[in-house]
């Protein structure tokens, strides 16, 4: 570590001592962008690291709501507006009991670099609440969303800050949030993405994160003359990202043998084919059931209570549930069992030990910022369609998503080979490449715009 990065990291640690996920995200970025900081002193002279690790604005607010029995509940709402150097703040809302400021700061910080990589004009932000939509009626979720938006609407707007979904925020929640925004502001604008198709949404947005992650994996495999066809794949999660990722893997001839939720994993050695996936989608999206119900429906499969999928041998692994779901030991097990590729659908699903093991083993590793950027990229395309009052076809949006994922791959690949000394003809450090490519664009914009 250089004197500059050591000093900044120490300050960030002191100022954010109780936010381990945020510190983890900052450490990962800072440790990989050192070569560019050393080569270009302007970043240190302009205190870019100090500035880029501090959110531009953090909003916290009370969210009161009543349940169906008339009891009052109070949750905490947040929006972290992290960086607007290259466009309006953009990033999802997460509703989950684990949500706190540190988690949203890590997600907002990651989002700054990810959005930069997409090549679209979007800054980075993230928000949400410790509200748990699980087990709540539709009416309760609606009342919560309306109360949440009653405060949030003061801070967002189509040219200011454009939230989207994340864990616990899907089409239903985006609908209630949009309805309340429209009612309070008396304007129909593209203030949220992930909207339904008949009122401003984009085709392929629900699919985009999962599909994009598979496209990124395909680009990585192509550097070794390979592709996903015939590969045995393990997937975690069974929500939005996991569902469409499994759909695309099936379409491309791979065999997916696991899906999971926060209670356990289902292992189906015959593969979760299109018909079984349709059943999972109905289970999770309509009946809001648990993944363990799969085994009663599909004999030959097993339910692994309280387990993640990483002990199951696979060629490719796609973590699509949540942060830090793969630790160093899991990464070692994956590699020992023959895994050759990890592409991250979830945000920061691998901890720092796990990342180091991937890099030492020289497998193909697509970090979240690059591999799951397809979701926010199509959100950017939804904003573009809303501004023009136009709807592009499914084929048009999918072709643009393909192009964006290819560009992200090339951008990360070239920056890795330019700056990261561990890259060889057969190995690309995509962590370094994605962080450096994302950083340079935002940092240069910050310098151009002066000290703000
Ligand atoms: P969903 O809420 O649709 O699904 C989340 C899935 O992950 C569920 O199966 C859930 O299980 C599981 N999960 C959540 N928390 C945990 C936990 N602590 N341990 C184990 N499993 C857990 O969310 P998404 O699919 O939208 O998001 C998944 C990941 O992808 C997140 O990291 C998100 O930040 C990231 N992401 C999402 C994007 C999007 O477009 N939606 C874009 C880019 C990244 P359960 O039902 O038991 O809670």
> Within this chain, do residues 225 and 77 fall inside the same structural domain, yes or no?
no
For residue 292, being part of any structural domain is answered with yes
Question: Domain containing 137: what range?
Answer: 3-187
CA distance 397 to 74: 40
For residue 398, being part of any structural domain is answered with no
> Within this chain, do residues 15 and 149 fall inside the same structural domain, yes or no?
yes
* Protein residue closest via CA to atom 42 of ligand 1: 375
Q: H or E element: which one contains 377?
A: helix 374-388
* Protein residue closest via CA to atom 19 of ligand 1: 262
> Within this chain, do residues 306 and 165 fall inside the same structural domain, yes or no?
no
CA distance 195 to 197: 6
The response to whether residue 316 sits with its C-beta less than 6 Å from ligand 1 reads no
- What pLDDT is recorded for position 112? 98
- 369 CA to middle of ligand 1, Å? 15
For residue 402, being part of any structural domain is answered with no
- What pLDDT is recorded for position 234? 98
Burial of 255 (0-12, 13-18, 19+ CB in 10 A): buried
For position 283, which CATH number holds? 3.40.50.720
* Closest C-alpha among 66, 32, 44, 124 to residue 430: 32
Long-range contacts of 248-254 (CB under 8 A, 24+ apart): 248/207, 248/210, 248/211, 248/214, 248/215, 249/214, 249/318, 250/274, 250/277, 252/214, 252/218, 252/227, 252/228, 253/228, 253/229, 254/228, 254/229, 254/230, 254/316
Count the neighbouring beta carbons within 10 Å of the beta carbon of residue 201: 23
For residue 202, being part of any structural domain is answered with no
CA distance 371 to 367: 6
Sign of CA dihedral 188, 190, 192, 198: positive
For residue 228, being part of any structural domain is answered with yes
Contact call for residues 120 and 405 (beta carbons, < 8 A): no
The response to whether residue 118 sits with its C-beta less than 6 Å from ligand 1 reads no
> Within this chain, do residues 40 and 180 fall inside the same structural domain, yes or no?
yes
Where is the domain boundary, 366, 397, 426? 366
- What pLDDT is recorded for position 71? 98
- 93 CA to middle of ligand 1, Å? 12
For residue 28, being part of any structural domain is answered with yes
Supply 367's token pair.
């970090």
Strand boundaries in 241-292, DSSP class E: 255-261, 264-267
Burial of 69 (0-12, 13-18, 19+ CB in 10 A): exposed
For residue 313, being part of any structural domain is answered with yes
> Within this chain, do residues 216 and 262 fall inside the same structural domain, yes or no?
yes
Where is the domain boundary, 334, 366, 398? 366
Contact call for residues 156 and 188 (beta carbons, < 8 A): no
Helix (H, G, I), strand (E, B) or coil at 221: helix
The response to whether residue 321 sits with its C-beta less than 6 Å from ligand 1 reads yes
- What pLDDT is recorded for position 155? 98
CA distance 1 to 13: 15
Contact call for residues 139 and 104 (beta carbons, < 8 A): no
> Within this chain, do residues 251 and 183 fall inside the same structural domain, yes or no?
no
Token pair 């309306």: residue: 146
For residue 198, being part of any structural domain is answered with no
* Protein residue closest via CA to atom 27 of ligand 1: 167
> Within this chain, do residues 93 and 164 fall inside the same structural domain, yes or no?
yes
- What pLDDT is recorded for position 135? 94
- What pLDDT is recorded for position 262? 96
> Within this chain, do residues 175 and 217 fall inside the same structural domain, yes or no?
no
> Within this chain, do residues 180 and 267 fall inside the same structural domain, yes or no?
no
Token pair 């015939």: residue: 230
- 267 contacts: CB under 8 Å, gap ≥ 6: 257, 258, 301, 302, 303, 304, 309, 312
Nearest atom, ligand 1, residue 372 CA: 43
- What pLDDT is recorded for position 266? 98
Where is the domain boundary, 321, 341, 366? 366
The response to whether residue 382 sits with its C-beta less than 6 Å from ligand 1 reads no
> Within this chain, do residues 360 and 240 fall inside the same structural domain, yes or no?
yes
- 444 CA to middle of ligand 1, Å? 33
Could you give the number of structural domains in the chain? 2
- What pLDDT is recorded for position 35? 96
* Protein residue closest via CA to atom 40 of ligand 1: 375
Q: Walk along the chain (452 residues) and give the pLDDT tens digit of each residue.
A: 899 999 999 999 999 999 999 999 999 999 999 999 999 999 999 999 999 999 999 999 999 999 999 999 999 999 999 999 999 999 999 999 999 999 999 999 999 999 999 999 999 999 999 999 999 999 999 999 999 999 999 999 999 999 999 999 999 999 999 999 999 999 999 999 999 999 999 999 999 999 999 999 999 999 999 999 999 999 999 999 999 999 999 999 999 999 999 999 999 999 999 999 999 999 999 999 999 999 999 999 999 999 999 999 999 999 999 999 999 999 999 999 999 999 999 999 999 999 999 999 999 999 999 999 999 999 999 999 999 999 999 999 999 999 999 999 999 999 999 999 999 999 999 999 999 999 999 999 999 999 99
- What pLDDT is recorded for position 294? 98
- What pLDDT is recorded for position 218? 98
Please pick, among 90, 105, 126, 255, the residue that the annotation labels catalytic: 126
> Within this chain, do residues 298 and 173 fall inside the same structural domain, yes or no?
no
Q: DSSP characters for 322-356?
A: -TT-B-HHHHHHHHHTT--EEE-SSSS-B-HHHHH
For position 139, which CATH number holds? 3.40.50.10860
126 is known as an active-site residue: yes
Distance, C-alpha 225 to centroid of its chain: 27
């Amino acid at each position: 570590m250089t004197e500059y990065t050591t000093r900044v990291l120490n300050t960030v640690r002191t100022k954010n001592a109780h936010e381990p996920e945020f510190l983890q995200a900052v450490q990962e970025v800072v440790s990989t962008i050192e070569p560019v900081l050393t080569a270009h002193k302007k970043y240190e002279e302009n205190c870019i690291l100090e500035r880029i690790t501090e959110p531009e604005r953090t909003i916290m607010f009370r969210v009161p709501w009543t349940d169906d029995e008339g009891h009052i509940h109070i949750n905490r709402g947040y929006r972290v507006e992290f960086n607007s150097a290259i466009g309006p703040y953009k990033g999802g809302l997460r509703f989950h009991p684990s949500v706190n400021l540190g988690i949203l700061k890590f997600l907002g910080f990651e989002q700054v670099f990810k959005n930069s990589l997409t090549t679209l004009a979007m800054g980075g932000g993230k928000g949400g609440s410790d509200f748990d939509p699980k087990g709540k009626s539709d009416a309760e979720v609606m009342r919560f969303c309306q109360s949440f938006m009653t405060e949030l609407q003061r801070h967002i707007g189509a040219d200011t800050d454009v939230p989207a979904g994340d864990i616990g925020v899907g089409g239903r929640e985006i609908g209630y949030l949009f309805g309340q925004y429209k009612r309070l502001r008396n304007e129909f604008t593209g203030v949220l993405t992930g909207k339904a198709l008949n009122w401003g949404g984009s085709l392929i947005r629900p699919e985009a994160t999962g599909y994009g992650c598979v496209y990124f994996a395909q680009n990585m495999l192509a550097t070794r003359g390979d592709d996903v066809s015939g590969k045995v794949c393990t997937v975690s999660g069974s929500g939005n990202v996991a569902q469409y990722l499994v759909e695309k893997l099936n379409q491309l001839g791979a065999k997916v043998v696991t899906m999971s939720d926060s209670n356990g994993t289902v292992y189906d050695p015959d593969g979760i084919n299109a018909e079984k996936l349709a059943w999972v989608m109905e289970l999770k999206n309509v009946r809001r059931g648990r993944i363990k119900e799969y085994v009663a429906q599909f004999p030959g499969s097993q339910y692994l209570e309280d387990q993640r999928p990483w002990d199951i041998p696979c060629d490719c692994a796609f973590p699509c549930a949540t942060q830090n779901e793969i630790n160093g030991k899991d990464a070692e097990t994956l590699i020992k069992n023959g895994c050759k590729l990890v592409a991250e659908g979830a945000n920061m699903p691998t901890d720092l030990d796990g990342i180091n093991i991937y890099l030492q083993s020289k497998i193909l590793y697509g970090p979240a910022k690059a591999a799951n950027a397809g979701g926010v990229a199509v959100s950017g395309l939804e904003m573009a369609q809303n501004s023009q009052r136009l709807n592009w076809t499914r084929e048009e949006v999918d072709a643009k998503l393909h192009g964006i994922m290819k560009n992200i791959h090339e951008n990360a690949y070239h920056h890795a080979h330019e700056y990261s000394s561990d890259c060889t003809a057969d190995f690309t450090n995509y962590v370094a490449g994605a962080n450096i490519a994302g950083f340079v664009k935002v940092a240069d914009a910050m310098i151009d715009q002066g000290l703000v």
